Structure 1
């Protein structure tokens, strides 16, 4: 990219995460010279947008940078001629997330924001809105990149791959967070840690870990059981079983606890529901406190309380990606892109989360050394089949396809339960799911 003054649109700009992103843009300004930063939101988020926007302007002023911050409800204005569009939206707000978590728990199934039936409900609401945004990008900023942080990131990326022509890359903070943890565990600089990822968003395995050129995977796996160092926020510290790790021969991502330790995770969720409420309800309280802080006219730096929100390294991942595209860096980052034969056990047109070379044209997958064995491939193929069905159901509004998606998901215990969960999701999300009505 040759343009020297950038326009970036942040859709979902009233998010409590936005100050994290602003901090990243400030820290990277001399590599990423943003001139116009548009924060856009929906009418229901106007108050939050105004609070976050005022805080963002104070942050930029404190840094002494010539970034112009624009607050708008006009998404098209924000997108028009943008170089990058980032999406961090939550269709239905946190109230919808709370429902997503509660509905599966009624039927003794995992209720989680991105995994299982909860992630399914979120995908049904989110995918049509993301595709509307993609149409606007195609019309108003056809050369721009869409950097998607909206969960479930893998499902959203797949929908964009299959149903739009936008240059899109899906992003999750989990890979960069895990890399930082490995660096901390091994007392190494993060630049000296190389990891190979195999899988899809929130269902991936690290099959190679090198620190300063030395293969340390086996050493890491032996350190892992019960090690708090490898856990990130939001996930209870249930130590991995040593025999499980040895038999896998890979380091599972934290979301695989829902599959490998379903009984413990379900017990934890049901206990939390009784004692603290859903994770969404906990986050609502954290957000109320954050926005009270953001209102303070004397606050011009990101408060440490934002770390409790659960989005560690979010801005680092986003800014690293955008900076690498803008500067044609050709470095390696772990992102969500089209498979194109990287994982030969999955179709070419689906989304995968793997290492990619990042340059001015986007993300290019790095061929992996060894295809996953059956212990990984089996679960991966089933969950990817669920994702393919979910994307189709979200776009076509097909009850039958939606039912099949839930029925084959490993965290939904039976076809009868799948039907009950689906009916509850549709009943409690009617306003957000017109495609089914």
Structure 2
């Protein structure tokens, strides 16, 4: 099997290769192609990835190319993990909303919208070329943020696509350790949108252990998720750590105004990682890679590709998938993040228990914003940007949305063809 990674020059990539090298599944990969416009990063990451495989005794070969069509030709699956604008654009996303007292984050709020506007057109262009070159049956696994909006764009154009995030698998692994059980024995009752999700149950051998986790490990969960234990106990749920941007918005903004943006931290880690990757004596995954983020990314991605390419019988994974009628209070074409049965025919969401009104309301609110964000990404226009910002629950004020729209367009005009002549 040929597996192609678009954005293969990322320092994330060795995580994926390590998942394959460790034979964590029976995924039969004989070629891994890394595609990236940055030739210098490709050479470093590609050579290190090959050493990882060879050190593990895995026979697959790594090839690199800046030519997308060459890279995807013959691929069984294509993974998307790109960042349009790099860490510089991320730093902008994480800082400009703070001027208006809004959270600065690369996947939600104004920063998340900026990333969506830059990313959606690029991803759709890539997907069209994948379809033309690799064929209709090639699976696209999208790890590119904002995952929900990008995956919705892909599905709307008819691509065979599934969105993937590491939030659920990270929580599964973490809670398994707390409970002293094997991760594979933990089944999550996970519901929401990408980066707006809740665990409503943590099942081991058919028994929901979430009440026990909240009662006995509330303080540890509070530290891990960045949210107060009393809140989680009252809800009877474990929100993802991205919910701190909603439940403790003003406190997060105060902290962000006194700390360097995450982009600066990541850029420093990336530099250190690339230096390590370039050392021919390094043949195993560096410990510093855990500081980069994306924990368990490799396991989630490899398991999902394994299921999609028919390497096993149906498997259950938490993925981003078309709603259909799963959450009846959302449009059918919304993209939700829930457990799904995954096989060679794709991902089919499993039924979920009734969603409490407090959670359903926020999910519906953000889904409305995501619809408007996708409209702005596809059709352009400063007013569409402002409309999406006004609809976001973390913004929601006319004057603030207007100011943020102007700043967002000015900062990102170089990536937005429709905006280049307006600033």
TM-score range, shorter chain: over 0.9
SS state of the match for residue 298, structure 1?
coil
Please give the residue correspondences for 1:310-321 in structure 2 after superposition, counting only pairs within 5 Å: 310-321=293-304
> Residue 77 of structure 2 contacts residue 141 of structure 2 at CA under 8 Å; is this kept in 1?
yes
Q: Partner residue of 1:385?
A: 368
Could you say if the C-alpha distance between residues 19 and 229 of structure 1 is closer, same or farther in structure 2, counting changes exceeding 3 Å? farther
Quote the offset at 1:384 in angstroms: 0.7
Please give the residue correspondences for 1:359-370 in structure 2 after superposition, counting only pairs within 5 Å: 359-368=343-352, 370=353
Aligned residues: 418
Q: Partner residue of 1:24?
A: 19
* Aligned with 1:295 (options 275, 278, 286): 278
Please give the residue correspondences for 1:186-335 in structure 2 after superposition, counting only pairs within 5 Å: 186-223=179-216, 225-227=218-220, 231=224, 238-242=226-230, 244-272=231-259, 277-326=260-309, 327-335=311-319
> Residue 4 of structure 2 contacts residue 79 of structure 2 at CA under 8 Å; is this kept in 1?
yes
Give structure 1 regions of 4+ aligned residues with deviation exceeding 6 angstroms.
Answer: none
> Residue 25 of structure 2 contacts residue 302 of structure 2 at CA under 8 Å; is this kept in 1?
no
Quote the offset at 1:302 in angstroms: 0.7
Q: Partner residue of 1:429?
A: 412
Q: Partner residue of 1:3?
A: none
Structure 2 unaligned regions, length at least 5 = none
| TM-score when normalising by structure 1 | 0.92
| TM-score when normalising by structure 2 | 0.95
* Aligned with 2:138 (options 128, 134, 144): 144
Quote the offset at 1:364 in angstroms: 1.1
Q: Deviations over 1:351-387 (max 9, x none)?
A: 000000111112111111x221211111111111000
Please give the residue correspondences for 1:76-95 in structure 2 after superposition, counting only pairs within 5 Å: 76-95=69-88
Query: For residues 18 and 115 of structure 2, what CA distance do their matches in structure 1 show?
Result: 28
> Residue 7 of structure 2 contacts residue 35 of structure 2 at CA under 8 Å; is this kept in 1?
yes
SS state of the match for residue 219, structure 2?
coil
Is residue 15 from structure 1 mapped to residue 10 from structure 2 by the alignment?
A: yes
* Aligned with 1:341 (options 308, 325, 335): 325
Q: Partner residue of 1:159?
A: 153
Quote the offset at 1:434 in angstroms: 0.9
My pick for the range that moved more, 297-306 or 203-212, is 203-212
> Residue 35 of structure 1 contacts residue 67 of structure 1 at CA under 8 Å; is this kept in 2?
yes
Quote the offset at 1:49 in angstroms: 1.0
SS state of the match for residue 209, structure 1?
strand
SS state of the match for residue 338, structure 2?
strand
Quote the offset at 1:107 in angstroms: 1.2
Q: Partner residue of 1:39?
A: 34
Quote the offset at 1:140 in angstroms: 1.2
Quote the offset at 1:224 in angstroms: 5.1
Quote the offset at 1:245 in angstroms: 2.4
Is residue 117 from structure 1 mapped to residue 117 from structure 2 by the alignment?
A: no
Quote the offset at 1:129 in angstroms: 0.4
Query: For residues 7 and 129 of structure 1, what CA distance do their matches in structure 2 show?
Result: 23
Query: For residues 288 and 13 of structure 2, what CA distance do their matches in structure 1 show?
Result: 14
Quote the offset at 1:229 in angstroms: 7.6
My pick for the range that moved more, 313-322 or 32-41, is 32-41
Query: For residues 67 and 14 of structure 2, what CA distance do their matches in structure 1 show?
Result: 21
Quote the offset at 1:219 in angstroms: 2.0
Q: Deviations over 1:174-230 (max 9, x none)?
A: 000001111111111112211111110000111122123212222222345432586
> Residue 227 of structure 2 contacts residue 244 of structure 2 at CA under 8 Å; is this kept in 1?
no
Quote the offset at 1:81 in angstroms: 2.0
Q: Deviations over 1:84-103 (max 9, x none)?
A: 00010000000000000111
Q: Partner residue of 2:342?
A: 358
Query: For residues 168 and 407 of structure 1, what CA distance do their matches in structure 2 show?
Result: 29
SS state of the match for residue 359, structure 2?
helix
Quote the offset at 1:64 in angstroms: 2.8
Q: Partner residue of 1:235?
A: none
